[in-house]
Structure 1
Amino acid sequence: MQKLLHANKMALLPAMFLSLNLLFFLSQISHATDTISKSQPLLNGSTLVSKDGTFELGFFTPGSSTNNYLGIWFKNIPVRTVVWVANRDNPSKHKSNMLSLNKEGNLVLLSQNRSVVWSTNATTMVLNPVVQLLDNGNLVIRDQKDNSNNEDSFVWQSFDHPCDTLLQGMKLGWNLKTGLNRYLRAWKSWDDPSSGDFTSGVKLGVNPELAIWKGSVEYYRSGPWNGIFSSGVFGFSPNPLFDYKHVQNEDEVYVRYTLKNSSVISIIVLNQTLYLRQRITWIPHTRTWSVYQSLPQDSCDVYNVCGAYGSCVINASPVCACLEGFKPKSPQDWNQMDWTQGCVHSEPLSCGVKNRDGFRKISGMKMPDTSHSWINQNMTLEDCRAKCLENCSCTAYANLDTSGGGSGCSIWFGDLFDLRVSESGQDLYVRMATSDTDAKHNKHSKKLVSLVSIPVSLVLLLLLAFSYIFMTRKNCKENGIWTKEKDDGGQENLELPFFDLATISNATNNFSIDNKLGEGGFGPVYKGTMLDGQEIAVKRLSRSSGQG
Structure 2
Amino acid sequence: MNTSPKGFLLLACSLIIPIISSGAIDTINTTHIIRDGDTMVSSGGMFELGFFSPGNSRNRYVGIWFKKITVRTVVWVANREVPLPNESGVLKVMEPGILALLNDTNATIWSSNTSRSVQNPVAQLLDSGNLVVRNAADNNPENFLWQSFDYPTDTFLPGMGFGWNFVTGINTYLSSWKTNEDPAPGDYAYFMDTTGYPQIFMTKNKVEHIRIGPWTGLRFSGTTNAIEDPTYKLIMVMNENEVNYREETIDRSVISRFTLSQSGVAQRWTWVDRTQEWVIYLNVPADNCDNYKLCGAYGSCNIANSPSCECLDKFVPKDPESWVRADWSSGCIRKTNLSCQGDVFFKYSGIKLPDARHTRHNESLTLEECRAECLRNCSCTAYTLLDLSKSSGCLLWFEDLIDIRELSQDGQEIYIRMAASEIDSEGKKPEVLIGSLTSVIVMVLLVLCLFLYIWKRRSESKIRKGRYRGSNEEHSELPSFSYSAILKATNYFSDDNKLGEGGFGPVYKGALEDGQEIAVKRLSSTSTQGIDEFKNEVIFIAKLQHRNLVRLLGCCIQGEENMLIYEYMPHKSLDVILFGGHLTSDRKRNVLLDWPKRFHIINGIARGLLYLHQDSRLRIIHRDLKASNILLDSDMNPKISDFGTARSFGGNETSAKTRRVVGTYGYMSPEYAVDGLFSVKSDVFSFGVLVLEIVSGKRNRGFSDSDYHLNLLGHAWTLYKEERSLELVDASLGKSFCLPEVLRSIHVGLLCVQKKPDDRPSMSSVVLMLGNEGVLPPANQPGFFLEREVIAQSSTTTTTSTNELTITMPEGR
Q: Please give the TM-score of this superposition, normalised by the length of structure 2.
A: 0.50
Q: Cα–Cα, structure 1 residues 432 and 44, in superposed 2: closer, same or farther, change >3 Å?
A: same
Alignment partner for residue 258 of structure 1, among 236, 248, 260? 248
3-state secondary structure, aligned to 1:94: coil
- Aligned 8 A contact 2:94 2:121 in 1: no
Query: How far apart are residue 141 of structure 1 and its match?
Result: 0.9
1:125 and 2:111 matched: no
Alignment partner for residue 71 of structure 1, among 38, 49, 63? 63
Output the CA distance in 2 between the equivalents of 1:233 and 1:442: 35
Partner of 2:381: 395
Which stretches in structure 2 are left out of the alignment for 5+ residues? 1-10, 446-813
1:223 and 2:213 matched: yes
When structure 1 is superposed on structure 2, of 284-293 and 437-446 the one drifting more is: 437-446
Output the CA distance in 1 between the equivalents of 2:299 and 2:234: 30
Output the CA distance in 2 between the equivalents of 1:50 and 1:348: 63
3-state secondary structure, aligned to 1:440: coil
Alignment partner for residue 320 of structure 2, among 312, 323, 331? 331
Alignment partner for residue 183 of structure 1, among 170, 173, 189? 173
Query: How far apart are residue 439 of structure 1 and its match?
Result: 8.1
Query: How far apart are residue 259 of structure 1 and its match?
Result: 2.3
1:203 and 2:188 matched: no
Partner of 1:287: 276
Give the 5 Å matches for 1:114-513.
114-146=106-138, 148=139, 150-234=140-224, 238-273=228-263, 275-351=264-340, 353=341, 355=342, 357-404=343-390, 406-422=391-407, 423-437=409-423, 440=426, 442=428
- Aligned 8 A contact 1:359 1:438 in 2: no
Output the CA distance in 2 between the equivalents of 1:160 and 1:370: 25
Query: How far apart are residue 94 of structure 1 and its match?
Result: 2.1
2:399 corresponds to which letter in structure 1? Answer: G
Partner of 1:106: 98
Q: CA RMSD in A?
A: 2.7
Deviations 1:381-428 (A, max 9, x none): 222222222222211111112234x22111111211001112222111
Query: How far apart are residue 103 of structure 1 and its match?
Result: 3.2
1:179 corresponds to which letter in structure 2? Answer: G
Deviations 1:438-472 (A, max 9, x none): 8836359889999999xxxxxxxxxxxxxxxxxxx
- Aligned 8 A contact 1:47 1:56 in 2: yes
Partner of 2:732: none
2:403 corresponds to which letter in structure 1? Answer: D
- Aligned 8 A contact 1:186 1:197 in 2: yes
Deviations 1:473-514 (A, max 9, x none): xxxxxxxxxxxxxxxxxxxxxxxxxxxxxxxxxxxxxxxxxx
Q: Cα–Cα, structure 1 residues 262 and 314, in superposed 2: closer, same or farther, change >3 Å?
A: same
Output the CA distance in 2 between the equivalents of 1:143 and 1:384: 49
1:151 corresponds to which letter in structure 2? Answer: P
Q: Cα–Cα, structure 1 residues 385 and 133, in superposed 2: closer, same or farther, change >3 Å?
A: same
* Structure with greater proportional strand content: 1
- Aligned 8 A contact 2:64 2:129 in 1: yes
Which stretches in structure 1 are left out of the alignment for 5+ residues? 1-18, 454-548
- Aligned 8 A contact 2:214 2:221 in 1: yes
Output the CA distance in 1 between the equivalents of 2:282 and 2:380: 35
- Aligned 8 A contact 2:237 2:243 in 1: yes
- Aligned 8 A contact 2:266 2:284 in 1: yes
Alignment partner for residue 52 of structure 1, among 41, 44, 52? 44
Output the CA distance in 2 between the equivalents of 1:452 and 1:417: 32
Output the CA distance in 2 between the equivalents of 1:135 and 1:374: 40
Output the CA distance in 2 between the equivalents of 1:31 and 1:70: 17
Output the CA distance in 2 between the equivalents of 1:103 and 1:178: 21
Output the CA distance in 1 between the equivalents of 2:260 and 2:25: 30
Q: Cα–Cα, structure 1 residues 22 and 322, in superposed 2: closer, same or farther, change >3 Å?
A: same
- Aligned 8 A contact 2:298 2:333 in 1: yes
Output the CA distance in 1 between the equivalents of 2:364 and 2:92: 53
Query: How far apart are residue 100 of structure 1 and its match?
Result: 1.0
Report the count of equivalent residues. Answer: 429
2:230 corresponds to which letter in structure 1? Answer: P
Output the CA distance in 2 between the equivalents of 1:448 and 1:53: 59
* Structure with greater proportional helix content: 2
Query: How far apart are residue 126 of structure 1 and its match?
Result: 1.0
If you compute each CA radius of gyration, which structure gives the higher value, 1 or 2?
1
Q: Cα–Cα, structure 1 residues 114 and 449, in superposed 2: closer, same or farther, change >3 Å?
A: closer
- Aligned 8 A contact 1:361 1:438 in 2: no
2:336 corresponds to which letter in structure 1? Answer: E
Query: How far apart are residue 430 of structure 1 and its match?
Result: 0.9
Output the CA distance in 2 between the equivalents of 1:81 and 1:191: 13
Query: How far apart are residue 207 of structure 1 and its match?
Result: 1.1
Q: Please give the TM-score of this superposition, normalised by the length of structure 1.
A: 0.74
2:316 corresponds to which letter in structure 1? Answer: K
Q: Comparing both chains, which one has the higher relative contact order based on Cα–Cα distances under 8 Å and sequence gaps of 6 or more?
A: 1
Output the CA distance in 2 between the equivalents of 1:209 and 1:215: 19
1:64 corresponds to which letter in structure 2? Answer: N
3-state secondary structure, aligned to 1:264: coil
Output the CA distance in 2 between the equivalents of 1:324 and 1:215: 35
